[in-house]
Amino acid sequence: AQTVTQSQPEMSVQEAETVTLSCTYDTSESDYYLFWYKQPPSRQMILVIRQEAYKQQNATENRFSVNFQKAAKSFSLKISDSQLGDAAMYFCAYRSARGGGKLIFGQGTELSVKP
């Protein structure tokens, strides 16, 4: 069975600085997708960024980028120029390319942004 691990329960960053959130996963599959979701206090789950495992190029969405290391089964999220609005819980998620789309989530990392 696939598992997703986020080893940092809490992280803190100064406004305008850069922070990296870690995620590792375990799978025997070669084709899959990875996602980062943001959950602010409103509890809405917001898709931040996504990565196809077959793509070597790391995904980027504005200030958000990932470092995808397939061999190491690592999928970290980098937030550049952190803003107060980035404060939230961040969840890493895995989805097999087979089947209907069940997401397997990590435990989450709570990010605080200091002004």
Which residues of the shown chain bind other proteins in the complex (CB under 8 A)?
33, 35, 37, 42-47, 50, 52, 91, 95, 99-103, 105-108
Q: Smallest gap, in angstroms, from Cβ of residue 114 to other proteins?
A: 25
Rank residues 39 and 74 by Cβ distance to other proteins and give the closer one.
39
Kindly tell me which of 19 and 34 has the beta carbon lying closer to other proteins: 34
Alpha-carbon gap, residue 50 to 58, rounded angstroms = 9
CB of 81 vs other proteins, minimal distance in Å:
24
- Report how far apart, in Å, the C-alpha atoms of 20 and of each of 63, 68, 90 are: 12, 12, 11
Shortest distance, position 16 Cβ to other proteins, whole Å: 29
Taking a C-beta distance cutoff of 8 angstroms, is the pair 15, 115 a contact? yes
- Of 63 and 102, which CB lies nearer to other proteins in the complex structure? 102
